[in-house]
Structure formats: C-alpha cells, structure tokens
Amino acid sequence: MRKTIVLAAVAALVSSSAAIAADKTLTIYTYESFTADWGPGPAVKKAFEQTCGCTVNYVSVEDGVALLNRLKLEGKDNKADIVLGLDTGLVADAKATGLFAPSGVSASAVSVPGGFSDDTFLPYDYGHFAVVYDTEKMKTPPKSLDELVNGNPDEKIAIEDPRTSTPGLGLLLWMKSVYGDKAPEAWAKLSKRVLTVTPGWSEAYGLFTKGEVPMVLSYTTSPAYHEMEEKTSRYQAASFSEGHYVQVEVAAATNTSHDPALAKSFLEFMVSPAFQDIIPTTNWMFPAAKTSQPLPDAFNKLVAPAKTFLMTPDEVARNRKAWVDEWVAAMGAK
Amino acid sequence: MAQAGGGLALAFIAGFIALALAPLLRFGGEFSIDRQVLSTLRFTLYQASLSTLISLVFGAALALSLARRPNLPGRIWIIRLMAAPMGLPALAGAFGVLAVWGRQGWVNDILGASGTDLQFNVYGLSGILIAHSFFNIPLAARLFYASLERLPSQYWLMAAHLGLGRVSLLRFVEWPALRRALPGAGGLVFMLCATSFTLVLTLGGGPAATTLEVAIYQALKFDFEPVRAVFLVGLQMLLAGAVLAFLKLFGAAEEEKNESGLLRRFDGQSALARTWDFLVIAGLIAFCGAPFAAIATSGLVASYPHLVTDPLFWRALATSFMLGPIAAVTAVILAYGLAIAHYGSASRVWKGALEAAGSLILLTPPVVLATGWFLWLKGGSGYGPYVLVALINALMSLPFAFHVLQPAIRTHFERTGRLSESLGIKGFERLRIVDFAILKRPLTTAFFFALSLSLGDLGAVALFGGDNLVTLPWLIYARLGSYRTSDAAALTLLLTLICMIFAVLGTRDSGTREGSIR
C-alpha cells in the first residue's frame, strides 16, 4: 500500500512535469488496505485519471475508524475532496462533524442488501460478516447463530473486540439483531466457545490460518481469496439460517473540497462499472453497483445470506456504548 | 553543568509529552472512575505485578547462574541474545508463544503424544504471564547480570577465603548487587507489562483481561474522547508512579568503590550447584528460545523471492535504517544527560524526577503522543511525520538506554571521579580521555538496544496518516491484514534476524574481557 503512495507521489511529480493537464488534483482520504498495491487503489487511480484529466492523490490511514478520527482532528482544515472507506456504522458520527456535502449523485445505480440509502454517503461495496471455518478441522460447521452459541465449547472461535475493531462491532450488532434483549445471555453462552478476543481482524485471522482455532469471525468473501489466490477450498464460510449482518462501505465528498465538480464526477465514476469491476478481487467485497462483467466464479460459490441485517446509523450511534458495556459484562469481566 | 544537561533533557521529555496532551484537551469527552475503569485498573495492576514478579525471580536466577559460570561455553552468546526479544513486535511474539504453548503448539503436541488427556490452555492469565515472561525475563536477567558483574572481583576472593556458604554468599554479596538493580529492572518490567496491549488482548481470552492501555486506545480511537484518554494516561502514570516509589524501598545504596578485575568465581563447584545452574540456564534458554525457533520455522517455509524484490520491502528497510539510528542517538544522548545529572545530584527529589523522566514516558501510549503531535503538525506532510516517529521512538527506547547507562555511569564516576579531579581533567577533556574510553561499551549497548526497539516500532504516527512512511513492523501488519500470513511470517523472521544482529553488535567487544558486558 505504501508503494502505491510512493508511486502516486512519483507519478504526481512526473505528470506535473509532463504536458498532461494535471493541474487538477483530487485528494482521497481512505484506509490502507484500499491503497495497498494489492488493493483497489492503484487500478482505481489509473482508471479515473484516464477520464478526468486530473491527478488522484491518496492519503491513507489505518482503517475506517481512524479515517473518521483524522477528519475530526483536522476539522475544516482537512485536505480531502473525497472520503472513502467509512462504513454505515460510522455514518451518523461522520454526519455530525458537518464536514460532508450532499453527493448530488443519484443512488439508483446502487443496490446493496439492507437497503442503505443516503443523500450524502454513497455505497461502493459491501460484505456480509460470517463465521469462516477450517474444513480440515470441522466436519459439521454451525448452521445458525444459535448453533454457534449453543455448540460444543471445545470447538473454538476467535472473535474481534468491539472496542477496537469494526468486525468485532459487526458481530455485536449481529447478535443484537438476532437476540435483541436476550443478547447478554447468548454472549455468556458463546463466551465458552470463544478462544480469545483479539484487538483486530488481522490477529484473529492469523490465529485461524495458523491452525490455532477452527473458526473465526470474518466475511462471506474470505473463501474467495483463498480459492483465487491460494487455489484452496479449505476455508469456507458458514451460512447461518437467521441471516447475516452486512457491512456497507461508503464514500462522500467533503464540503471543503476545492473542486466539488471533480469530487462529484468521482462519485459518479465510483458507482459505474469501471470502478465496480475492480472491487471484487482487490478489496474482496461485493460490488455495490453494476459491473461490466459477471463476478468471478469463486464469488458465485460463496454463501448467499437468505436475510440481511443492517441497523440504521442512528440506532448504532445511539446504542453502541451501552451495548459494548453490556458485552463486556456478559463476556465475564469481573 | 551536568545538572543543566539533565534539566534540559528532563524539560525536553516533559515538554514533549505535555505538548502532545495539551491540544487533546480542547476536544470534548467526559471521564469518571466508573466500575469498568476500576476493574481495568485492578486487572492491570494484578497481571503486571505477577508478570513482574515472575520475570524478576527467573531473571535473577538466570543472572546468578550465568555469573557463577564464567567459563560456560557459549555464555557470551546467551548474554548477547538476551536483547533479542526487545525488537520483536508484540504480535510476532504472541504468535511465537502460541506456536509453543497454543492449542496446536509444541507443548500440547508433547502432552498429546505422551498419551495423557491433559491439554494446556494458554488463553487467559497464564498466556499473558508466559508472554510477558518471554519478553521480560531476558531483560531482567540482563540488568541483574550487569549489576552482578560490577561487583569487584575481590568480593568473590574474600568470600572464598571466608568460606561463605551458599546462603551467606547470596545474602552478603549477591543480594546487595541484585537489590541495586531491582528498582530499575522492576520498574521497567512493570511498566512494560502494565502498558501491554496486543499481548493482553490476544492471549487474555476475553474482555476480562483488559489493561488501561486498551481503555486509552478505545477512548482515543473508537470513542474519540481525547479528554478521557488524557485522563486515563494520568491514571496510568499515577499507578506506575506509586509502584516505582514502592520499588524504590527495595533499592540499596551504592557501596563499592574498588577497581574491578577479571571475573573469577571460586564458589559453586559442587555437583549440586552445577546441576542447578545447568537446569536454570538450559530451562530458561528453552523457554525464551522456543518461540524464536517457532518464528524461524514458520518464517522459513515462506517464499522469499517476491518479498525481497518488492520495492516496498526495501523502502521499509530504508525508512527503518534511516529513523532507527536517529532515534537511538537521541535516546542515548538524553539517557546520558539524565544519568550524569542523576549521579551528580544529592537531592532525592531531583534524582527521583530524573529517574521518572527516564521511564514514565512508557506510560504515554505512542498513539496518544502521535495524535497530539498530529494536531500541531496539522496533518503532517513533508518531514514532519519522520521527525515525529524518530522522536517518539527515541523516547520509547530512552528507559532502556537509561537503565543500561545509569548504573554504568554511577560505577564509572565512583571509580574515576576523584582521580580525574585530582589530576585536573575536566569538561570535554575528561569526556574524551576518561569517560568515553570506559563508557564506550555501555553507550554502544544502549545505542543498539534503542536501535532494536525503534526498528520493532510500528510507527504509531502513521495511524492517522504518515503517508509514505512505512516501517518493517508496519509492513508485517499490512500483509497480515490482507490474508498474507506467510509473507508476514517471512518478514517477521527477517526483522528478528536484524534485531539479533543488533543485539550481538551491542555487545561486540565484550569477548575481550571474559564476557563482561558492563
């Protein structure tokens, strides 16, 4: 990802000295795995620059939460034209900063499960949370969240901490969607199956691929990575009968953008096939709008949730703290 | 002059922290000591105290055994490699520990093969203690060993003449030396364990295992309540300050003034003593070495060609090698200033302040420092983030450098102070002729300590966008964060090897004096 930025910097130097009309620049704040050399960033930059007569600059931070924090820290002084990489759980907080402008782009091209729609934040991809399991270690994976909660406590799962990671928060909201007020009891049961709670996705998934734990909280799309990049179908997502919670990733233009027209044209580009084609095999998420080609085969084999859960940004913002406290208590903190 | 230098160093450190905290206060956020904070505080204190106790006891045992066996083959390598875990990023250490102690680890393999139904469960307090011991036993042993080595050789000779038994030797000779290192080593290990984050969460098994550091991170990052974060930092400082003051009670005044000679021991020749030393040394080498073996095993199976041809890897290496030395030199200069002033001062309060400056920095999480300074740098473009990372790394390695330098400087000045004065050697002249010649070795050690540490640093500033700043540990996380586990394992092995080389370089000329590391 860093190389991209270096390349971007070099490209910026080169193109500014070349005769291309590169006097226009579009600055995009995003997260690191987007701009990684294996992420969507490089291809997105190339594709947009071909049509916009501008230079795309990325400023990347650790993750979606850090992205919002950076904006809060900078306030009106931010240099972003576009902020790309928040998820719907952060949207209410993001709106409260008053730093974003209505997109002016019709959301009709967009179609995401859970039906998120907003005049400011435009979805660009989505993925369902799922329990991914190791087929070599587990012959009968849980078929529902309830089976996960009540299953054999010797078959463990690694989850992420909702206090420090977005997938962790995702599972919290998923449990809440399914169990409502009974969530604490469900968590107390599940806690016997939880091997450990890691600070982030990387640690949990690392434990999983190292064979330390047979299940991990990840995304339905994780098996596609292993299938396409590692040619193995060893890791599979479990389909849960209650349905799956979805993470929708969104982008928006800032109201401090020095070139709102350019920002708007990027958002239009974002929901067009040129952008959406890049997403599946680089961000390992589902495209939020039409692609020009059908999805790779590995994506067709993935778990397709019968039902999708998605809470409104306001509901998340209102309850997150209380629910996290509830989780801490239910997980057996003294 | 020395006091002014120390004061300057102190002012710099305090200023750097205060300036980082100040701009955070203008953001909202409320705070109070609620039930959760209390239970976090209790757990932090509990696990850190236990971890410290274990690390100190085993560290002292290892130091005593090593000091008693000056002719042990390969001894110098054991001492050198004690610095190796320091540069290891916490997550890499956690994976190493898990490869040995985890559900699928070697220990459970052995248990399984032996036909028992026993299964060792590492997750929980035991995992936290094992991981902290892995990181800190070598550190404690290193500091204790250095203190034992500073004992004049006459002591051993005299003890032999007097026919002191094991207990008396421990009581009259070794214990006073251990005691001198105790507050420093204990304080340092305590702070490292109290501020542990990744290890505690990953191995702790659930939110019951939460340290204040986690709460600070949560407050600053997830909840974005900077004021609460600052409040928790203050709480963490109070807690550690109390522990440091408590440990001070165990400290002992300096007494020895004699010339040091070759280290030669006359005791411990019995079969029992030999067996004991062998068990202690072999046992702790196995304990601390096994996770490294695991790192090597998983790192070696990875593929290297695409990694070493990746320009990003070279960029990370270049950044680390550019920032590391700057951080290390800064840390050594600050530590030197503090240690000189510490030696020359008669005021207990002032000494305490200097010591605190040399260690309390560990209690301000880098993410807090980085956030505060991010606000001053206004986003940070150009060289700003680089300078910041170098400075934060310098401050984070300062405590280690200080604890290496301070005892060495104390002993050195006690031995040469009066002579130099009577010869009228002062100022830079003295620094050049007397001090540098003797202090070259601890300075080198401190430098490479600091270098390893800053190499293993994640570059906290990049959390909010250091743009093209990339360090090796950052790269490891990035690979891990995008399904590339084996790339991460390979990079971890490379980083570990580099840190080991530094650990060896830091004790390079030690062989000349029978493994002296002073």
**Per-domain residue ranges of chain B:** 1-28+302-518, 31-298
| pLDDT category of residue B427 using cuts at 50, 70 and 90 | confident
Please count the CA atoms within 13 angstroms of the CA of B110 that sit on its side-chain side.
8
Give B-chain residues touching A208 at CB under 8 angstroms: none
Interface of A with B in 283-312 (CB under 8 A): 284
How do A122-134 and A244-254 pair as beta strands? Answer: antiparallel
Lowest mean pLDDT of A270-274, B174-178, B456-460, name the range: B456-460
What's the pLDDT score for residue B106?
A: 92
Rounded Cα distance between A186 and A171, Å, is 12
Give A-chain residues touching B475 at CB under 8 angstroms: 2
pLDDT tens digit sequence for B311-368: 888 888 888 888 889 999 999 999 999 998 988 888 888 888 888 877 778 888 888 8
Average pLDDT value for residue range A307-320: 93
Query: Do the domains spanning B1-28+302-518 and B31-298 agree at the CATH topology level?
Result: yes
**Model ipTM over 0.85:** no
Distances (CA, A) of B424 to B420, B433, B434: 6, 12, 12
Interface of A with B in 235-294 (CB under 8 A): 284
CB contact under 8 A, B224 and A69: yes
**Residue B232, amino acid:** L
Average pLDDT value for residue range A286-295: 94
CB contact under 8 A, B463 and A325: no
CB contact under 8 A, A196 and B202: yes
Cα dihedral B97, B101, B102, B103, rounded to 10, equals: 170
What is the percentage of chain B residues whose pLDDT exceeds 90?
26
Q: Does B478 touch chain A (CB under 8 A)?
A: yes
Candidates A62, A73, A206; nearest CB to B375: A73
| pLDDT category of residue B137 using cuts at 50, 70 and 90 | very high
Mutate to test the interface with A, among B100, B227, B483 (most CBs of A within 10 A): B483
pLDDT at B405 over 80: yes
Give A-chain residues touching B474 at CB under 8 angstroms: 2
Asked if residues A124 and A275 have their Cβ atoms less than 8 Å apart, the reply is yes
Rounded Cα distance between B188 and B182, Å, is 10
Task: Pick one of 1.10.10.10, 1.10.600.10, 3.40.50.300, 1.10.3720.10 as the CATH number of B1-28+302-518.
Answer: 1.10.3720.10
pLDDT at B132 over 70: yes
Q: Does B98 touch chain A (CB under 8 A)?
A: yes
Rounded Cα distance between A121 and A250, Å, is 6
CB contact under 8 A, B202 and A203: yes
Q: What residues have CB less than 8 Å from A248, skipping those under 6 apart?
A: A87, A88, A112, A114, A116, A123, A125, A126, A288, A310
Asked if residues A80 and A73 have their Cβ atoms less than 8 Å apart, the reply is no
pLDDT at B82 over 90: no
Give B-chain residues touching A321 at CB under 8 angstroms: 223
The reported pTM is 0.87
Rounded Cα distance between B352 and B355, Å, is 5
- B31-298 is a CATH 1.10.3720.10 domain: yes
Tokens read off for A125: 């991809």
Distances (CA, A) of A307 to A240, A243, A316, B275, B344: 9, 4, 19, 66, 73
What's the pLDDT score for residue A263?
A: 96
Q: Does A161 touch chain B (CB under 8 A)?
A: yes
